[in-house]
Amino acid sequence: MHLPSPALTTLRRRQLLGWLPLLAWPLAQAQPATSSLPTLEGKTADGQALGLGALRGRVVLVLYWSTGCAVCRDKMHEMRANLAGWQHQPFTLLGVNMDQRREDVVGYETLLRQTVPAPQRLRSVWAADPGFTDSLGPPTHLPSGALIDKAGRLVERYSGRIPPEAWDRIAELL
């Protein structure tokens, strides 16, 4: 039995790897371009309708979070600071509260109104509300995020903490 030399095997691997992009190109071209924009609609704790459709023309960072998530609560100071810093820019930080109990959402929102200045409060919708819709899909981790450009298109997704680079990307989109 004849086994190929290691050098020949490496050469064949390199040749195959060189051809892979060319083989995959027709498959990538065959994918239909999606023109549908993401949708996200819900109600705030005080019952106001809020969604992506009304925010077209603004850069939107959708933040999936929960009052029971320690990382989410820890990062809220950073979120609020950026929100306040861009209050005169076309930017919205839209929270999607993933709490299961409405009492938790309402209690948190009440506390915010008493302790956090208005320019630093992100508006949140409650994901467990019967009228909530979200074509972005449920997050796999909390916190998570989705960046939407001014045209309403999904630009990037973030799983876990929102990375510092996300804020640079938001600044570019503004």
pLDDT in tens, 40-78: 999 987 788 999 999 999 999 999 999 999 999 888 889
pLDDT of residue 131 exceeding 50:
yes
Per-domain boundaries in the chain: 40-173
More confident residue, 32 or 123: 123
Look at 4-18, 131-145, 153-167 and tell me which has the smallest mean pLDDT: 4-18
The count of other CB atoms within 10 Å of the CB of residue 166 is 17
Measured between alpha carbons, how far is 128 from 169 in angstroms, rounded to an integer?
30
Look at 7-21, 51-65, 91-105 and tell me which has the smallest mean pLDDT: 7-21
Phi-psi category of residue 171: left, alpha or beta, with phi > 0 → left and psi -120 to 50 → alpha: alpha
To which CATH superfamily is domain 40-173 assigned? Glutaredoxin (3.40.30.10)
